[in-house]
Amino acid sequence: MDVVSSQTVSVEVNGTTYEREVEARRLLIHFLRDDLDLTGSHVGCDTGNCGACSVILDGTLVKSCMLLAVQADGSSIETVEGLSQEDELNPLQQAFKDQHALQCGYCTPGMLMSATALLRDNPSPSDDEIAKAIQGNICRCTGYWNIFKAVKAASGQEVGE
Amino acid sequence: MSETTTVAEPLVVEQAETKPGYAGQSVPRKEDKRLVQGEGVFFDDVKRHNMGYVHFVRSPYAHAKLRSVDVSKALEHPGVLGTLTGDEVALLTDPFFQISSPPGAHLKDFCLAVGKARFVGEPVAAVVATTRETARDASELVEVDYEPLPVLTDAREALADGAPLLHDEAGTNLTWEGVYEWGDLDQAFAEADRVLKISELHFDRFNSTPLECNGALVEFNKGTGQWTIITNNQFPGFAAIMMGPAMRVGLDKLRFVTQDIGGGFGNKITSHPQLVACCLLARKLKRPVQWTEWRTDFHLSMSHGNERWFQDTEVAVKHDGTLLGFRTTALDDAGAWLRYEPLGGVIWAQVTPGMYRWRHIRLDFKQVVTNKAPVSPNRGYSRMQHLWFTERVIDIVAHELGLDPVEVRKRNYIKADEMPYETPNGCIYDSGDYAKMLDTALDLIGYDDLESKRTDAESRGKLLGLGIGSTLDSGTNNFGQSRLINPELQFSGNNEVATVKLDIFGEIVVTLGTTPQGQSHETTASQVVADILGCSVDDVNVRAGHDSYWNSHAGFSGTYASQFAVTGLGAVKGATEMLAGEMKKLASVVLGCSPDDIELAEGQARMKANPEAALPFMALGAIINANNAGLPEDLDVTLNCRYVYRPPFDPPDVERKYGNLTLTYAAQVHAAVVEVDPETGVYEIVDYAAVDDCGKRINPQVVEGQVMGATAQAIGAATHETFTYDEDGNLLTPNFYDYHVPHALDMPPLKTGYVESPSPFTSLGTKGMGEGGGAGIHALCAALQDALRSRGNPIVYDSSNPYHRVWELLSDPEESRKRVAVETP
Amino acid sequence: MLLSEVGYARPATLEQALGVLAEYPGARALAGGQTLVNVMKARAAAPDVLVDLAGIPELKGIELAGDGTLELGAMTTYSELIASAEARARPILGEVCAQIADVQVRNRGTIGGNVCSSDPTNHLPPLLVALGATFTVAGPQGERTVPAGEFFLGVYMTAAGPGELLTKITVPPGRNDGFASVPIGVDGTCIVNAAASMNGGVRVALGCVGATPVLVEAESADAVRDAVRESAIDPPSDVHASADYRRHLAEVVAARAVEQAGKAS
């Protein structure tokens, strides 16, 4: 049984496969940002509470600061960079824009991944269900209210003006 | 969370006269396209070849002599590129300029601790390495010999005999004090029917914890002697003034570059010590140096909000609740260093009477240093603390005199027809109808049904309470107020810059002097420009962020203190009007008429009388940039217009401490309904209404976003957010695990309402907004006080009311009531 | 925020995992990582080797026996438990897991990790004590079972000692269960919590009041508050609650958990 302090990992991110040598101790968020130059996912805390680093790993929403890069070897990851196609915003991104669901934009990538995961599982969520789905994503700018509206709008539900 | 977290449709109560155009429209944001794709550029996204990563070694002691700092073992660690210690810093730099008069003026503040550490988390050395992890590892090899000293954590003990002295150079912990007195206190108290005495109120320490912490990537160009500081500092004008002299270099050697910033709220103004350390390291190690502040570092060391005690308050009141005046001592806890302080010692005076008409006021302001993180501006800076105080006073007056808090406010509010209103210390409140805002808030919250809601709550075993928080967001500072702190200072007025140009192919390019952190400057600037030039907002390109190389900034440039809609947009308007004038002048030369015959519309300069005679913008741009032969010699047209907005201020009267300190006064009236579980002290916010008046709103959706954000932060501050220390000076809430900020499930339902009372003093009728004055804190304190009335009428005396405090109020209401006495003179 | 150097192993079987733990005394098992990675970020602990249990099939799976006994693999995530049809045989399990933190944490965090970290504010230790669960521990000497009441030894200390692994949690049948807590914010860290089970007698396990869950047994629902008061708990004081306040809250949540248990069926 091999115990390694670094190894080559192969990860697919937004459809592209990357192979890199990485230390076992490197967190997945730093691997994405520093090794793969995918700086869309962000770091907002150091205790796994803020969710700015949220990505979808093998179909499951996770905080990438709470995983080692080596744990993601062989996995398929989706980040914010994979949401739009050729610079065209997807309906969720457009809804965030329409509803002013972002101000500084720092929590937004993580928020979008959490909302993406929710809508795959629950295409027509209530406000409570939306709040539960983004409970692991801290925002300090918006107070979350417009984010509820944006996710609702993206799901095709009425939100008013 | 309540059954629904919907946010209701915004209610527009009153709107200023609307003209056709973009101003007043909720134009979609230019910023969003890149941000929702993760293509924003935040400082940590930027990389440079060969860059080294910084880790700061931080003191684990709140107060300790630094007998020695030995980096030799760290330097031997593989991958380490270099270090920096306090001894080096003391040789290479001069102490930071101190705003304060003596004794605060004597503080010797360097970018690393020199000789002594004065708070847990204070940087004492820096290690740079090839990877982040290596720098962290190597920092553990730095050997610091600390000699612990007694610790001071309670401001009330700072002046006691034998209190630990933080700064020998000052000789005291009382680094600044000032007495403010206006009107005739003796008269007021002689006329009073009752005198309300409150022994002590406490505004707690917290901050806005922007999701992105501070940081920078610093490069040094040895040939030119210039540093490029890619950072998220939100007030580069201030950073430059602090850093240049300390580093013994001219300010032009410090180039500040920002693009996207992940929230600021004032907490990104005082990163200059760490930036200096990075500059020294970049020069020393001959490579770019990168510093990322982690969450714990931020909580331990950066920008705590002012903690303030209001002691021995006396309020002169008539039987009917008319407030005549008050006197109080404000004891402000600045933490270990004065990094923007003691400006907080005067900034509260922008709103001396709050929203009320009392004329006789005395406030003794004493600021002390303690072994805690240095404070610096935090959303609502210093006004919030003071307005919380005035709101607590109103509420306690109402409770103790058995009057209705709504009626007492209305009786004492400054009236709409008294505007512009000169306060006792000469500040001019520009406009506003506070009573109407209060009525609107009460309507939104269902005030008429209050008693039936209370009964319903009771049937479920809960205590219901309604609270009002009315507050002001004073915006666009007159920096002359700094002379009330230190008469030797040479600051006054304010400014902001914008440059608007028409390029060779007709592109309109706007360069701002600001450093937005989510306030939608690119979008609102484009609205103003488009309205003046008669084009579409899509044709207006606004550069993202700030770069001092653009030379589109001045001494006070940055984004802070609720001012962009006045200063930033004032500069944009000025620059665009200059450009429009030049475009018309040029068009008139080409078309053979007078400039007054020209209008700008639909992307063209055309003759009003004959719209067919038109020049598209591209034609104008091309002439000036590439095809200018034959133009009249005296034609003064460059199509590249830089404008410095300067608000109309006079230096204040330092003797009387009198004068207008801010140009605009946005107002907020919030109402909150809480339900308290009397068995546990746990409470829930079940309804919330926020009514806002910031004058003419350029982009209503943007304004609403700011109102919501300020509300959420106030809710956090009132409930769980607190920077609490133990007696050894350890911060008990050093990260998001213990420092609980509101998450999605914590949000109450929200109703918002808007009134537009244009400011007569600004070019667009706008008022600065965004900070919000802490209305939510005031409202929740009042709501709790109302809810607990039936349980012994405890007094809410602290701005921070987590469950354990509510429990104390429930368990022993008499204890809190000891702070309050009503006397009949 | 940045971890110390560490070795990493990803065994494919339980036997391999135990082998690595035996070979490296400084090794720690890595389950969901939602606690351990945080601890390592703060450098409060720095294991030499992390033994990633994610690839071991023996540790996954939920089985419901005919008599209603549930066997939960230690590496079952909270989300898996919430979604499990079998686990609905004892609904309180999913209900409590749904209150833990947030979706991201629930997708990775495991019930084994929750009990083995034995953090006094965790949800599952008091719950499983109240339910009378048993824990199966595998080690070099083979396998043994430990009743919940004997599993929790202290903060971050359980009967699964060095070189051992928790493999499964067995929950007896029953439905009259309740759980009540006072968290910091919705679904936040608990200030106090209590789990109750009324499947024959009244059992209440208090969390957050000591290093390990405190089991209180009472004659009847009405006697619970007195029983808690007499249990002489010595709760800690911290920034969120004083010892006295925790002591008071413990009584309240105990009574509420019991009330919930009485209504459940």
The answer to whether residues C196 and C125 belong to one domain is no
Burial B20-43 (b: 16+ CB within 10 A, else e): eebbbbbbbbbbbbbbbbbbbebb
**Among C171, C193, C211, which residue terminates a domain?**
C171
Nearest CB to C11; choose among A1, A43, A114:
A1
Confidence of residue C265 (pLDDT cuts 50, 70, 90): low
Q: In angstroms, rounded to a whole number, what is the distance separating the alpha carbons of residues B306 and B370? A: 12
**What pLDDT does residue B79 have?**
98
CATH superfamily name and code, B43-153+209-301 = Aldehyde oxidase/xanthine dehydrogenase, a/b hammerhead (3.90.1170.50)
**Among C151, C171, C191, which residue terminates a domain?**
C171
- Non-local CB neighbours of B26 within 8 Å, separated by 6+ positions: A100, B699, B700, B701, B702
Q: In angstroms, rounded to a whole number, what is the distance separating the alpha carbons of residues B2 and A147? A: 17
Q: In angstroms, rounded to a whole number, what is the distance separating the alpha carbons of residues B615 and B591? A: 9
Give the architecture-level CATH label for domain A91-154. Orthogonal Bundle (1.10)
- Give yes or no on whether A6-82 and A91-154 have one common fold: no
Two tokens at C201?
């007698």
> Does the pLDDT at position A93 exceed 70?
yes
CB contacts, 8 Å: A2 with chain C: 9
Confidence of residue B724 (pLDDT cuts 50, 70, 90): very high
**Among C131, C150, C171, which residue terminates a domain?**
C171
> Does the pLDDT at position A161 exceed 80?
no
Beta-carbon separation of A1 and C20 below 8 A: yes
* Tens-place pLDDT, residues A62-79: 999 999 999 999 999 999
DSSP B748: P
Beta-carbon separation of B737 and C189 below 8 A: yes
Indicate the fold that domain B496-554+567-645 takes in CATH.
Answer: Aldehyde Oxidoreductase; domain 4 (3.30.365)
Beta-carbon separation of B745 and A33 below 8 A: no
The answer to whether residues C162 and C194 belong to one domain is no
- The three-state secondary structure class of C143 is strand
Sheet with C7-9, edge to edge strand ranges? C7-9, C49-52, C27-30
Beta-carbon separation of A140 and B708 below 8 A: no
Rounded to a whole number, what is the largest CA-CA distance in chain A?
60
Cα angle for residues B303, B306, B310 (degrees, 5° grid): 170
Say whether the peptide bond before residue B342 is cis (omega within 30 degrees of 0): yes
Q: DSSP string of C212-227?
A: S-EEEEESSGGGHHHH
Which secondary structure element, helix H or strand E, spans residue A12, and what is its range?
A: strand A6-13
* Tens-place pLDDT, residues A21-56: 999 999 999 999 999 999 999 999 999 999 999 999
| Every domain of chain B and the residues it spans | 43-153+209-301, 496-554+567-645
CB contacts, 8 Å: A110 with chain C: none
Report if residue C109 sits inside a domain: yes
Of the candidates B485, B427, B425, B481, the residue with the CA atom closest to the CA atom of residue B183: B425
* Tens-place pLDDT, residues B450-492: 999 999 999 999 999 999 999 999 999 999 999 999 999 999 9
* Tens-place pLDDT, residues C152-201: 999 989 999 999 999 999 999 999 999 999 999 999 999 999 999 998 88
The answer to whether residues C233 and C165 belong to one domain is no
> Does the pLDDT at position A160 exceed 70?
no
Test mutation, B290, B679, B730, chain C, max C CBs within 10 A: B679
Place of tokens 């050997």: B143
- Non-local CB neighbours of B514 within 8 Å, separated by 6+ positions: B496, B521, B546, B557, B558, B559, B564, B568
Do residues A134 and A113 lie in contact, with contact meaning Cβ atoms separated by under 8 Å?
no
Test mutation, C103, C105, C121, chain A, max A CBs within 10 A: C103
Burial of B157 (0-12, 13-18, 19+ CB in 10 A): middle
Confidence of residue C220 (pLDDT cuts 50, 70, 90): very high
The answer to whether residues C216 and C229 belong to one domain is yes
Host domain of residue C97 = 57-171
Q: In angstroms, rounded to a whole number, what is the distance separating the alpha carbons of residues C234 and C147? A: 24
Do residues B149 and B168 lie in contact, with contact meaning Cβ atoms separated by under 8 Å?
no
Report if residue C2 sits inside a domain: no
| Every domain of chain A and the residues it spans | 6-82, 91-154
Cα–Cα separations (whole angstroms), residue B255 to A107, B229, B239, B376, B642: 28, 6, 11, 23, 19
**What pLDDT does residue B3 have?**
44
> Strand ranges (DSSP E) for B712-774?
751-755
Task: Provide the terminal-to-terminal Cα distance of chain B, rounded to the nearest Å.
Answer: 48
**What pLDDT does residue B1 have?**
41
Q: In angstroms, rounded to a whole number, what is the distance separating the alpha carbons of residues C1 and B229? A: 24
Report if residue C64 sits inside a domain: yes
A140 touching C, CB under 8 A?
no
Do residues B180 and B168 lie in contact, with contact meaning Cβ atoms separated by under 8 Å?
no
CB contacts, 8 Å: B679 with chain C: 252
The answer to whether residues C32 and C13 belong to one domain is yes
* The most confident of B352-356, B554-558, B562-566, by mean pLDDT: B352-356
Give me the amino acid identity at C51: V
Task: Identify the weakest region by mean pLDDT among B363-367, B548-552, C62-66.
Answer: B548-552
Confidence of residue B2 (pLDDT cuts 50, 70, 90): very low
Beta-carbon separation of A34 and B3 below 8 A: no
Test mutation, C13, C14, C102, C105, chain A, max A CBs within 10 A: C102
Confidence of residue B376 (pLDDT cuts 50, 70, 90): very high
Confidence of residue B617 (pLDDT cuts 50, 70, 90): very high
pLDDT, averaged across chain B? 96
Q: What's the gap between Cα B628 and its chain centre?
A: 47
Length of chain A: 161
Burial B516-544 (b: 16+ CB within 10 A, else e): bbbbbbbbbbbbbbbbbbbbebeebbbbb
Do residues B683 and C186 lie in contact, with contact meaning Cβ atoms separated by under 8 Å?
no
In angstroms, the separation between the Cα of residue B511 and the nearest Cα of chain C is: 37
Helices A108-121, A145-154: inter-axial angle, 10-degree rounding? 40
Say whether the peptide bond before residue C213 is cis (omega within 30 degrees of 0): no
Which secondary structure element, helix H or strand E, spans residue B429, and what is its range?
A: strand B428-429
**What pLDDT does residue B7 have?**
76
Nearest CB to C108; choose among A7, A25, A62:
A62
Beta-carbon separation of A136 and C103 below 8 A: yes
Nearest CA in chain A to C4: A25
- Non-local CB neighbours of B348 within 8 Å, separated by 6+ positions: B330, B363, B365, B382, B383, B385, B386
Q: Is C20 left (phi over 0), alpha (psi -120 to 50) or beta?
A: alpha
Q: Is B321 left (phi over 0), alpha (psi -120 to 50) or beta?
A: left
A62 touching C, CB under 8 A?
yes
CATH of the domain at C75: 3.30.465.10
% of chain B exceeding 70 in pLDDT: 99
Of the candidates B133, B122, B130, the residue with the CA atom closest to the CA atom of residue B56: B122
The answer to whether residues C88 and C156 belong to one domain is yes
Burial B65-85 (b: 16+ CB within 10 A, else e): ebeebebeebeebeebbbbbb
- The three-state secondary structure class of B177 is strand
Q: Where are the alpha helices (DSSP H) in B504-662?
A: 521-533, 567-591, 617-626
Q: In angstroms, rounded to a whole number, what is the distance separating the alpha carbons of residues B706 and B689? A: 14
Two tokens at A157?
């539900």
Q: In angstroms, rounded to a whole number, what is the distance separating the alpha carbons of residues B229 and B218? A: 5
Report if residue C142 sits inside a domain: yes
**What pLDDT does residue A20 have?**
98
In angstroms, the separation between the Cα of residue C100 and the nearest Cα of chain A is: 11
Q: What's the gap between Cα B326 and its chain centre?
A: 27
Length of chain C: 265
Burial of B308 (0-12, 13-18, 19+ CB in 10 A): buried
* Tens-place pLDDT, residues B14-29: 887 777 899 999 999 9
**What pLDDT does residue B429 have?**
98
Sheet with B508-512, edge to edge strand ranges? B540-542, B508-512, B496-502, B640-645
Nearest CA in chain B to C253: B680
> Does the pLDDT at position B301 exceed 80?
yes
Residue B7 β-bridge partners: B750
How many CB atoms are located within 10 Å of the residue A31 CB? 25
B29 touching A, CB under 8 A?
yes
Beta-carbon separation of A114 and C103 below 8 A: yes
Report if residue C89 sits inside a domain: yes
Cα–Cα separations (whole angstroms), residue B436 to A19, B296, B307, B756, B774: 64, 44, 32, 12, 20
Q: Is B476 left (phi over 0), alpha (psi -120 to 50) or beta?
A: left
pLDDT, averaged across chain A? 97
HSE value, Cβ hemisphere, 13 Å, CA-based, for B734: 19
CATH of the domain at C29: 3.30.43.10
In angstroms, the separation between the Cα of residue A13 and the nearest Cα of chain C is: 18
Two tokens at B397?
């007056």
**What pLDDT does residue B649 have?**
95
Say how many domains are in chain C.
3
**What pLDDT does residue B8 have?**
81
The answer to whether residues C47 and C61 belong to one domain is no
**What pLDDT does residue A82 have?**
98
Compute the count of residue pairs across chains A and C with CB atoms less than 8 Å apart: 98
Rg (CA), chain C: 18
Confidence of residue B5 (pLDDT cuts 50, 70, 90): low
The whole-model pTM stands at 0.97
In CATH, A6-82 is 3.10.20.30: yes
The answer to whether residues C36 and C125 belong to one domain is no
How many CB atoms are located within 10 Å of the residue B823 CB? 10
* Tens-place pLDDT, residues A50-62: 999 999 999 999 9
Place of tokens 């969710």: A51
Across the range B121-142, mean pLDDT stands at: 98
- The three-state secondary structure class of B596 is helix
